[in-house]
Structure formats: C-alpha cells, structure tokens
Structure 1
Amino acid sequence: MVSTFLILASVVLCAYFGVLALYRLLFHPLRKYPGPVLAAVTGWYEAYYSIIKGGEFISEIQRLHALHGPVVRVGPNTLHFSYSQAYHDIYTHGTTLVKEPGFYHGVVAHCPQASFGFCDPVEARDRRSLLLPLFSRRAAIALEYTIQKKIDQFLDTLKERYNSPSSSVSMTVAFRALTIDIITSYCFAESANTLDDPELRHPLLLNIQESLKTILFQRHFPFLTSFANNAPPKLVLWCIPAFKVFVDMKIRYERQVDKLISDPDTLLAVEHETVYHHLLEPKDKQQRPSRTSLVHEAFTLIGAGSDTVGNACTIGTFYALKYPSIRRKIMDEICQVWPDAGRPISYVTLENLPYLTAFIKETLRFSLGVVHPLPRVVGSATPEIGGLKLPAGTIVEMSSLLLHMNPEAFPDPHTFNPDRWLGQGNSKMVLDFAPFSKGPRICLGMNLAWCELYLIFGNIFRKLDLSLLVTEDTIETFGEDHLDYFVPHWKKDYRVFVQKVHDS
C-alpha cells in the first residue's frame, strides 16, 4: 500500500514538473527571449553557478550576453539586461517597481527585519527617514574626527608592525579592520576595536569576512538561516557548526541592543550622536523598530558599511602602487594643500582636489558595493524597461558591473585610468556611474563612504610610502576576475609593507 502511494506520488510530481517545464518553455510570456533552456525551466540555474561553481554567476551572465545579446532570460520569469537605458529604467526611475521578495528575503534571511530587505516602498521609506540624519553630509562632516581617529591608529599599526617585506600585510584584511572600526564607532559610539589586535585576527573581523561569503547560499536556502535565527544557539552549533560566525555576531548585537533598551539613559552618556538616537526616539512612536529589528539593522549597517569602503580602498591602493605615475600625481596634488603632514586636513579640503577625486571615482567604478544583479518586479504601471513593454510580475535586473564596464560610456573599460574623469565631455560617464546604485533605494551610507575614501586615501598617500610585494599569488587586475558572492570577491589578494614614512 505504501509503495503504491509512493509510486503514484512520484508519477504525479513528475507529471507536474513536466507540464510546468513545457509551459515555461512554450507558453510563458518570456518564451521569446533567448537564454539557456535550463534557466527558462528552473531558478536553480542561478544557484548552480552561485553555489556549486562558487561565485561564477556574474561570469555566466557576461557569457550569456556575449552569446545571446543585450536581453537574456536567466530564470523562468527573469530577464537580465546589459545596456544603460534598461539599468536606469529599473533602478534610477523605477518608482513603479519593487524589490523581488524571494531574492531579498533570502539574502537577508539572517536579518529579515533590516531595512535593506524591505520590499514595501512605504516601509522602506519610513525606516530610511529615521536613518538618514546620521548619514547626511552634515553628519559625516560633524563626525569626521571619529573617522580620522581610526585612520591614525591604522597608520600607526602599519608603521609599527608591517615595515619590511618579511612583515607584509594583506590589504584586504587591513582595510576591513579599519572600516569595521570606523562604522562601529560612527554608528554606535562604541568601536569594535579590531585594530587593537596587531595580528589583525580579531574574531569580529574574521566573522564578517566569512559571513559575507554565505549570502548567496542563504539566498537559496533561507530556511537554514531562519532556523539559526530562532533556535537556541547551542542547538544551532550542534546541528550546523559552520553557523558559529552568525551565532556569535547575533549574540554580540543582542547584548548591545538589550543594554540600550533596559537603560535608555545610556544614550545620554555616549560621546556623539548614534544611530540609536534616531531609531529609539523617533518623532512618530509608531515607527520605533522592535528589538529584533534593531539587532538586524545593526547586522546590516556593520556588514555593508565595512565591506563596501574596504573593497574600494583595497582596489584603489593596489592600482596606485601598481602604477607609480598615478601615485605621484596623487601625492603632488595632496602635498600642495597639505605641506605639513603633522597637521590634520579636512575632508572638505580633500574633496576639492581634482585628481584625487578622479582617482576615487575610477576606484569606485572598479569597486562595486554589490556585484550580483538586484532584481525588481515590474508593476502594472511600469512603463517600458529598456524599450520593452513587459507584463506585470516580470522580474528584471542588471548588474552594475555591466554598467561600469560598458565601453560606450567608459572607453577601454578594463583599464584603470583616473584621467578619464578629468575631461569635459564625460556626461555619459556621470550618468552611468552608479557605485551606490541610484533612485529611491540608493545606498544610505553614500555620504559617509565619500568622506571615508577621501580621508583614508589622503592620509595614506600623504604619510606613508607603501610598497607592493609581488608574488605568484598577487592579483594582476581587479577589472575582470570577479567572483560573485553577492558582494565582489577576487581569487587572489596582494600584500604591502611600509617602505618609508612621510613626516613632512
């Protein structure tokens, strides 16, 4: 009896999936768009390249566009585009599109109540209004001293610990330590102090680096992360030891939030304005986040705030060291406005330097905060996407990598060339420059990121002479060798040491 039932169930399931596959191939509204047959049949096509092939989905997308043209069907109900008009229709002007829930609820399965994963535009707008005051240009300038304090510690660590070829340091790790300390100090007035570990092996630093690599795994298996969210920590670690990173971070942020909720007067004693001043005391009490939402927002702020700027610093420093002419131009320009390295210089002064600005823009063109396509759902009121009228419910997306590497906007796109930003005829580049995305869901921390980049690069090139340690494991270019773990990763790294200190 049981065996008969199992056979019948198997037949029904096979028939169902067979009919579904035929519908998606022959009758689905997107059937006319080119792409792999497997991608049209199942969403697991993306999972294969993200998980089994280890971050190769963005490379597969590039291959598919080279093979099939500017519009490719990459999922049963998903189109990926490769031209700028489509990007701007989706993201810049896409007020009638919403975030695709399946993707975002998976990506933020570890923190589903953080604003990054909000798909409801009203809910996202309300939370954004609470967070924006701390991430305004005014706030970044007012708290500039917190950034400079961490940069000074970072430079001291490099000078004291990594001053010879035998004591070189991975700049990927070093910059993550710096940016973690900056974002935690800036947001919470309570730094993680990862730079206090001279070996750069602080648990939080290692945890964040490892957790970022799991984002696309949990995107396809969100129930595992939901289990880790709700089950007792000991049970989670017994069942899935690899989730220790997540559990440790969750406990850390819960303690931080619980302390503030149990003793609100703690906010009166902190050194400066923090994100909790705005989240815990909103003008509209109905907008106050729950305890869980506060913990999840902390997850997002620290992960996103450290990785994006850390990535940019890693890439920009590499190219400045690889091409001495670039470094010389930066140093000559900075020294003109900063003759005495012993005296501080402001972000406002540095942002007025043309070549340094061009260098940072080119760095951001290469350094993508998120390399994975961010899907949106076409609404009933959505106009054309890239010149195409698509049925409501269609999922559309475009990786900003294809926007930034478009030769029509950026000639010779895989060459790191800050001079391209110094010309007059660069309106197309400005339009297609989207390191923080665009439109209503543009990156919340954009103003802070610009401030960090000017101060970090300005201080490094003014005060230190770094040398690139070239080995067989040194990366050759950041322009083409992307791995897609939602955020970009590269197969190789590079190491540097301090050759000389510039004191004047």
Structure 2
Amino acid sequence: MYLLLAGSAVLSSYLGALALYRLFFHPLRQYPGPVLAALSEGYELYYNIIVGGGLVNEIEKLHKIYGPVIRVGPNTLHFNYPQAYHDIYTYGSTLVKDPGFYHSTAAHVRQSAFAFCDPQHAKIRRGLMSPLFSRRAVLELEYTIQQKIDKLLAVFGEHYNSSNSSVEMSSAYRSLTTDIITSYCFAECPNTLDIPDFSHPIIQYVEETFQDYWLQRHFPILTDIINNGPQKLVLWLLPKFKGYAGLKSGLERQIDKILENPDILSSVEHETVYRHLLEPKGQERPSRTALLHEAIVFTAAGSDTVGNASYVGTFYALKSDTIRRRLFEELSKAWPERDTPLSYAALEKLPYLTAFIKETLRFSVGVIHPLPRIVGTTTPEIGGLKLPSGTIVEMSALFMHMNPEVFPDPYVFNPDRWLAGETNEMMHDFVPFGKGSRVCVGLNLAWSELYLIFGNLFRKVDMKLIIDENTIDDFSPEQRMDYFVVQWRKGYRVSVAKTAV
C-alpha cells in the first residue's frame, strides 16, 4: 500500500514538474497557442480521433487567433507563410523527418522510402525507383494509362448508359487509378474495374485505411497485431481489414514468384518497379519485406492522390456550365476525331485544360496533414526564426494553396487565375506533390494520368451532376476532414452518356 502511494506521489510530482517546464521553461514557451497543446501530445490525438480528422481545421482557427507561428505540441511549431514552408521542405536539407510521427503513421510500411527519416537512406531507395517515373518512362508507358481509361469508358457505356443509372464517382476514379498504378508499377493489376459498382475490396481497403489512419498514428501496436497475428483471428476481430489482408497477400505472392524466379522480370510486358529495386548497382538489394512495403505504398498513394484530384476537378467542371463548355470546346478543336487517341504530349499543350488541372490540384491538396521535420544543429533560420536544435517544425500544404496573398479568393475554384498574366509566384507556392528532396517520386506519372483522364472523359463522355440531399455543395472547409489525405463528408453521383460529336 505504501509503495503504491509512494509511486503515485512520484508520478504526480513528475507530471507536475513536466507541466511547469513545458509552460514556463521550455525553449518554445514564448510562442502562442493553446495551453493543452503546450502540455501534451494528446491535443493532436483529440482532434485526430475524437473530433475525427479535425486537426487542420483547428490549426486554421488557431492561426487566425494567434498569428503566423503557433505552438501545436510541446515541442512543435506550425507555420502559416510561404517562406517557412520553403525553409522546411524546399530547401530544408538539414532537417529530418520526425521519427515519432513517421514510425507510427508508417507502421505498416516501415521499410519503405516514405518511412525513412534519414534523408540519405531515402535518397538511395528513391534513386532505385525514380527511373521508372521519369518523364521518358511515363511517355513510353502511356499506353498502360490509356488502356485503363478506355476500360472505364467501356464500363460506363455497358452498365451506366440508361437514363435511370448513375455513377458514384469516388469509387469509379479510385478503381481506375488503382488499376493504373498497379499495372504501371507491377505489369499486372487486380482489375478492380471489372467488379460491379466499383466495389473491389482493395478500393474499400484504401478508403478504410485512411479513415483509420489516426488509430495507427497514435496506437501503432494495432498494426503489429494485424500484420503478425493469426490472419483468421485478426479478420474475425477486425473484418474491415479484409481488403488490406487481400492486397498484402496478393503482393506477397507476386514478390515471392519473382524472388524464386528472377527471370520473370525479363518476360513481363514492360519494366516494373521490382526490376529497378532488385537490380541495384553497387548497393544492397532491398529485402522481401522492403519490396512489399514499397508495393503497398505505391498502391495506396498512387490510387488516392490522383483519384481524389479527379473527383474534385470533375465536380467543379460539372457544377459550372462555363468550365465544362470551355473544356469540351478546347478538346474538340484539338481532338476532332474522338475515337482516335490523343497523346499526353498533345494534351499538355492545351492551355485551358492545363489551367483546369492546376486549379484542381490546388483545391484537392493531396497530403493535407502537416509533415513534421526536426531542426538540426546546422539548420539555418525557419521563416526568419532561429530555433533550437530538436524543435519539430511543420506546415500543411493547405496553407500554401489557400494563401489569399498568392491566390486571391482562394476558396473560389477558378482555372482562369492560371491564364491571367504572370504565374511564377503561384507556381513557386504550388505544392500538390511537395517540394525539395522528398517531393513525390511519382509526380510525372500523376500529371500524365490527370491529362489523360480529364482529356478523355470531357471529350468523350457527357456527364451531368445529380443533385440531391446527399450531394456535396462545395469542397469547402466545412466538408473537409484531415485523415493525412483529404476525406470529404459528402460525395456526388453523375449520369453519363457518350458525347454527340
């Protein structure tokens, strides 16, 4: 009994001393922010899990109250101006990823480049994979993208051609982008477009994974249980992870076949990411687990970012008769023979389509959650501030894209902003794929997908937005949730028909 009381007293004293230190003696004590954020990492947990994806919306409110630099954790500062963003990400070569964040959020893919906190380790791994995502490689493999888009259009024509039918576009786009990224990276795909109503378990897995992302962030042991526990028991207890288990098993079988017989790589339809990873020059070959983790990252990230952008852009084009008409007219002029393919290289020369895609990427954001970096001993100023080594600094890309000083009326979807004179400042602060050494390795592929998806759909399909009580009004802050990537509270459906000409 006495030991229990003594232990409680020691713990209470420790917690009290820690609270006093964080509030009155910590190096970041002079930066404003909520008291609870200064006291505990539980502040982030509350908005991530209890509020449900509410952290970025709360940070927006905090900046309005406290100014451009706020303390959002005991040792964490969040910024809200472009210079700070570029100091952290674009030029921040002396900063490393925060292990506390990345080792938990990436608990299921710890041996992927995404999870590497050491910049040099990430550089080596990315160097192995980057040749597959060069512009030259993307142009050579463009047909893999076009084939899947043609398949989506065929599904529309076969199953959604009646006046009473409609398409839920989020699942349709994610099915398309899943088949594209897996076919492009692995020369085989799960054919999610073949499943009625775009309901393949992998699509559900990706959506549910991001919806449960913060459980993994704050309780990474759950991922260890799912990965290492008896699969039948895990799926009985946690049936929503059936899609993840199926994806993991399929990729494991694929990788094991290659490891058993590497000659398979020379007989596939085109080069794959496995070939680049398994044939490193003068470097150690990644392990089986590392191959699996990279494959999972490509499947999830490659399907979600482009799928979400396609989803957001289509909504705004259908909501505005002017945007839809201008897209169709520009495409019809450049593409008079609808059934003859038009290349990515030709589509990217179309000014209004290009402006529309840029505005779509500005609005859809991509990764919305702040990506924390740790200040090093040689780090120069961050946003004009000299900070102690070990300070965690971050800034959500949302604050770049919604900065009214760079993008006037930022919450208005306006492709014409990209056609009105000088756009260098906007492009400098345009960060849908990040910036600097950790920029998204697949950005060339993503650009080509968006040109080909939007080009084909707005040239070949007459889509109309179906308005009812379940239809989103705008992709506004009220509808936006932060689950690392953006989630939306409502969706939309469209009717589809082949264009008349």
TM-score (norm 2): 0.98
Q: Distance in 2 between matches of 1:16 and 1:224?
A: 29
Q: Displacement, 1:111?
A: 1.0
Work out whether residues 201 and 242 of structure 2, in 8 Å CA contact, stay in contact via their aligned partners in 1. no
Q: Distance in 2 between matches of 1:410 and 1:259?
A: 50
Q: Does residue 363 of the first structure (1) align with residue 360 of the second (2)?
A: yes
Q: Displacement, 1:235?
A: 4.1
CA 1:240/1:14 → structure 2, altered by over 3 Å: closer, same or farther? Answer: farther
Q: Secondary structure at the match of 2:494?
A: strand
Q: Distance in 2 between matches of 1:330 and 1:103?
A: 41
Work out whether residues 415 and 479 of structure 1, in 8 Å CA contact, stay in contact via their aligned partners in 2. no
Question: What do the CA deviations read for 1:249-303 (whole angstroms, capped 9, x no partner)?
Answer: 32222111111111111112211111111011111241x1100010011110000
Q: Which amino acid aligns with 1:111?
A: V
Q: Secondary structure at the match of 2:326?
A: helix
Correspondence list, 1:80-479, <5 A: 80-164=78-162, 166-238=164-236, 240-286=238-284, 288-479=285-476
CA 1:19/1:238 → structure 2, altered by over 3 Å: closer, same or farther? Answer: farther
Q: Distance in 1 between matches of 2:138 and 2:211?
A: 29
Work out whether residues 328 and 459 of structure 2, in 8 Å CA contact, stay in contact via their aligned partners in 1. yes
- Unmatched 5+ stretches in structure 2: none
Q: Displacement, 1:164?
A: 4.0
Q: Displacement, 1:472?
A: 1.1
Q: Which amino acid aligns with 1:86?
A: A
Q: Displacement, 1:165?
A: 5.2
Work out whether residues 116 and 122 of structure 2, in 8 Å CA contact, stay in contact via their aligned partners in 1. yes
Q: Percent identity?
A: 60
Q: Which amino acid aligns with 2:448?
A: C
Q: Displacement, 1:436?
A: 0.4
Question: What do the CA deviations read for 1:280-331 (whole angstroms, capped 9, x no partner)?
Answer: 1111241x11000100111100000000000000000000000010011111
Q: Displacement, 1:497?
A: 1.0
Q: Displacement, 1:238?
A: 4.9
Q: Which amino acid aligns with 2:129?
A: L
Q: Displacement, 1:503?
A: 5.9
Partner of 1:24: 22
Partner of 1:487: 485
Q: Distance in 2 between matches of 1:57 and 1:234?
A: 35
> CA-atom RMSD, angstroms?
1.2
Q: Secondary structure at the match of 1:423?
A: coil
Q: Displacement, 1:336?
A: 1.2
Question: What do the CA deviations read for 1:345-402 (whole angstroms, capped 9, x no partner)?
Answer: 1000000001100000000000122000000000111111111110010000000001
Q: Displacement, 1:57?
A: 0.6
Q: Distance in 1 between matches of 2:344 and 2:360?
A: 18
Q: Displacement, 1:28?
A: 0.1
Work out whether residues 78 and 393 of structure 2, in 8 Å CA contact, stay in contact via their aligned partners in 1. yes
Q: Displacement, 1:200?
A: 1.1
Question: What do the CA deviations read for 1:415-458 (whole angstroms, capped 9, x no partner)?
Answer: 00000000222222111101000001000110000000000000
Q: Displacement, 1:478?
A: 1.1
Work out whether residues 55 and 483 of structure 1, in 8 Å CA contact, stay in contact via their aligned partners in 2. yes
Q: Distance in 1 between matches of 2:111 and 2:462?
A: 44
Q: Distance in 2 between matches of 1:198 and 1:271?
A: 27
Q: Distance in 2 between matches of 1:452 and 1:376?
A: 30
Question: What do the CA deviations read for 1:160-219 (whole angstroms, capped 9, x no partner)?
Answer: 222345321111110000000000000000011000113211111111221121222201
Q: Distance in 2 between matches of 1:131 and 1:473?
A: 41
Q: Distance in 2 between matches of 1:228 and 1:338?
A: 50
Work out whether residues 128 and 444 of structure 1, in 8 Å CA contact, stay in contact via their aligned partners in 2. yes
Q: Distance in 2 between matches of 1:264 and 1:298?
A: 17
Q: Which amino acid aligns with 2:118?
A: D
Q: Displacement, 1:16?
A: 1.0
Work out whether residues 257 and 291 of structure 1, in 8 Å CA contact, stay in contact via their aligned partners in 2. yes
Q: Distance in 1 between matches of 2:313 and 2:383?
A: 32
Question: What do the CA deviations read for 1:39-70 (whole angstroms, capped 9, x no partner)?
Answer: 00000100100001110111110011111111
Q: Which of residues 4, 7, 15 is equivalent to 1:6?
A: 4
Deviates more, 1:227-236 or 1:253-262: 227-236
Q: Which amino acid aligns with 1:303?
A: A
Work out whether residues 132 and 272 of structure 2, in 8 Å CA contact, stay in contact via their aligned partners in 1. yes
- Unmatched 5+ stretches in structure 1: none
Q: Distance in 2 between matches of 1:159 and 1:368?
A: 31
Question: What do the CA deviations read for 1:454-480 (whole angstroms, capped 9, x no partner)?
Answer: 000000000010010001111111142
Deviates more, 1:479-488 or 1:173-182: 479-488
Q: Distance in 2 between matches of 1:83 and 1:122?
A: 28
Work out whether residues 205 and 240 of structure 2, in 8 Å CA contact, stay in contact via their aligned partners in 1. no
Q: Distance in 2 between matches of 1:165 and 1:84?
A: 48
